[in-house]
Chain A
Amino acid sequence: MLVYLIKRVNLLVTTLFLLSLMSFSLGHLFPGDSVINFTGQQSLTYEEYAQLRQDLALDESYFMQYVVYLERVFAGDFGLSFSSQSEVLRDFMRVFPASAELSFYALLVTCLIGIPLGLWAGIKRNTLVDKVIFSISAIANSIPIFWLGLLFILLFSLNLAWLPISGRLNLLYDIPYETGILLVDIALSDFDNKWPIYHDALRHLILPTLTLATLPTTLLIGMMRSNVISVMNSQYIKAARTKGLSLYQIIRRHVLRNALLPIIPQFGLLFNTLMTSTMITEIIFSWPGIGHWLLEAIYQRDYPVIQASLLLVSSFMIFINVLSDVCHTMVNPLVRKEING
């Protein structure tokens, strides 16, 4: 087990190392002056420029420059944004919770819909139910997410006028920033009569969450279905059936658990899909998260922001990947045995 953990941590560290190397090289690859690209300082006097150049060790070898870069990263100094001239890390911390919140709800919806449907389809294999679920998920899987978002807006906001189309909350509610997670912030705020505020926040959540959840849900249904089928075919299920357990008992005791286990390491993949979709969803629904921030940065050629967000977002993804892998090993006795044995 220890060896396994060390291996994983090793993977994590090397990957992060490579990522930081990549992010570092971006500072040189982006068009323009690298001092400005690294620091984001726009209006520099000649002396300040020379000083910064020295601080960044830009006249020394690439290795030294990289070391300096790492030091800055560990100190949380990602430079200033070109367009807002505020610290990139601070901006990141402001937008990150919004994306995380949205992704979390989408993941929740994915699980709530994907797991039962996948289970159902797997149990009723090759029946009408299975075919219907499968066809719907295949169709949903092929709808480009940006088109789906537009269709939702067209239908639910513009034609039916049920739901708002942009932002996280009516801007007139001035909720102070505490954690960045809106539903928590509302609870912490000192407004009285909070129900309308929660209600407004939920209404803003529906369309982005559904848009974002569609693709991962179809993936989860597929995974769940094939896992259930393989579990149902296994010997111990047959044994349990001959023992006289009802179908419901079998599903509850054996199928669900055993089918869920192999999904845990796949969470990395789900999360990856989610992250990609988040960027587009946030643009469509003007959700003030990472994707929105990053794309605005690209439109505005804001290189320090692009550089930092690549590093931060990918590090986060890798972390999640490794974490889900480790979790899987922790809970799944079969894998544990394989490693130890």
Chain B
Amino acid sequence: MASPDIYNEATHPGPYMLAWNKFKSDHVSWISFCIVLFFVAMALFAPLITPYHPLAQHPQDVLLPPSWSSAGDVRFILGTDDLGRDVFSRLVYGCQITFGLSLLTALAAMLVGTALGALAGMSKGIRASVFNHLLDTILSIPSLLLAIVIVAILGPGLPNTIWAIFLVLIPLFVHRTRQAIQTELKKEYVTAARLDGANNWQILFRSIFPNIVESIILQYTLAVSAAMLDIAALGFLGLGAQQGSPEWGAMLVASIDLIYRASWLTTLPGITMFLCLLSVNAVGHGLRNALKQRSE
């Protein structure tokens, strides 16, 4: 019985597949990846999951503890805050803001930053040197400080925070892409392609990009966690999301006044945020490991 499967052993997984398999074989990374997907789903389907609107006030049910405690109420799984807003709904919508917006902001920054980085990486001479200096300048300012200054110019508020973080993230991608491209440019396969008569663009898109995509994705996971931290930190400092917004940092700062009376208002957003950051970081770490193992 000749079976077509006979040659199956000979099929080699592609480099992406290889990395993916490596990634999946690491339990921690795989679990974190699932958690990240869970958070993404929460952000996407927030209106479907949540029983209430995040700003809906229930004056009759103020400061209810989570439902598992004796004073809790099943209608409000994770309790309510001091204006009677459902904590669970707020956390889920907060996921949309803190995590969802971080994903999008980082994505936008990645697109812009990579494009600029490619330009910078392929150019030489004075233009490149000026560009590098500019980049070094921006990278040397702590990102939060830069974001704070941008917010100070634009005025506090969530949209301005997002703009600020977007601007702050771009140089990271530019830097990473430029470095990656310059390492690749020195390699022999690029020289080979050049000898074949490929022009700069062809080299960039056909040869180099496939080789640096992974390191950009790696940078993306870092950027997402940095964006989350910055959004929440600015919310915490009262410069980002407006008071009352379900953004996690803003929820944390609003809870401080009630830290004795309603400690769940401090712990729950903190834990959620910690879990989200941890899983994003773990995915990044797993990715890096997988890439490293593949290259070994």
Contact B232 A144 (CB under 8 A): yes
Contact B148 A294 (CB under 8 A): yes
- For A154, A294, A314, A321, the residue with the greatest tally of chain B CB atoms inside 10 Å of its CB is A314
Instruction: Chain A residues near B249: list those with CB within 8 A.
Output: 144, 146
Contact B266 A306 (CB under 8 A): no
The CA-CA distance from A295 to B273 in the complex, in Å, is 24
B174 at the interface (CB under 8 A from A): no
Instruction: Chain B residues near A11: list those with CB within 8 A.
Output: 133, 136
Instruction: Chain A residues near B259: list those with CB within 8 A.
Output: 150, 154, 158
Contact B145 A138 (CB under 8 A): no
Instruction: Chain B residues near A141: list those with CB within 8 A.
Output: 281
B278 at the interface (CB under 8 A from A): yes
Residues 261-296 of B, flagged 1 when their CB comes within 8 A of A and 0 if not, give: 001001000100110011001100100000000000
The CA-CA distance from A303 to B149 in the complex, in Å, is 10
Nearest CB of B to A290, in Å: 10
Q: Which of A183-223 contact B (CB under 8 A)?
A: none
B229 at the interface (CB under 8 A from A): yes
Q: Which of A249-302 contact B (CB under 8 A)?
A: 268, 272-273, 275-276, 279-280, 283, 294-295, 298-299
Contact A314 B145 (CB under 8 A): yes
Contact B142 A275 (CB under 8 A): yes
The CA-CA distance from A138 to B283 in the complex, in Å, is 12
B137 at the interface (CB under 8 A from A): yes
Instruction: Chain B residues near A268: list those with CB within 8 A.
Output: 140
Which of A12-20, A47-55, A108-116, A237-245 is near enough to bind chain B? A12-20
Size class of the A contact interface (CB-based, 8 Å): 35 or more
A75 at the interface (CB under 8 A from B): no
Nearest CB of B to A138, in Å: 7
Instruction: Chain B residues near A163: list those with CB within 8 A.
Output: none
Given A144-B273, A295-B237, check contact A317 B140 (CB 8 Å). yes
A330 at the interface (CB under 8 A from B): no
Nearest CB of A to B131, in Å: 11
Contact B142 A142 (CB under 8 A): no
Instruction: Chain A residues near B266: list those with CB within 8 A.
Output: 150, 154
Instruction: Chain B residues near A15: list those with CB within 8 A.
Output: 133, 136-137, 140
Contact A279 B145 (CB under 8 A): yes
The CA-CA distance from A315 to B137 in the complex, in Å, is 9
Contact A276 B274 (CB under 8 A): no
A sample of 5 cross-chain residue pairs with beta-carbon separation below 8 angstroms, ordered by A number, consists of A18-B133, A142-B277, A144-B229, A154-B266, A276-B142
Name B's A-contacting residues (CB within 8 A): 133-134, 136-137, 140-145, 148-149, 151-153, 155, 225, 229, 232-233, 236-239, 249, 252, 256, 259-260, 263, 266, 270, 273-274, 277-278, 281-282, 285
Which 6 residue pairs spanning A and B have beta carbons closest together? Answer: A142-B278, A142-B277, A147-B270, A276-B142, A276-B144, A314-B141
List 17 additional A-B contacts (Cβ < 8 Å) besides A144-B274, A321-B140: A11-B133, A11-B136, A18-B137, A138-B281, A142-B281, A147-B270, A150-B266, A158-B259, A276-B143, A279-B142, A279-B145, A279-B148, A313-B145, A317-B140, A317-B141, A318-B136, A318-B137
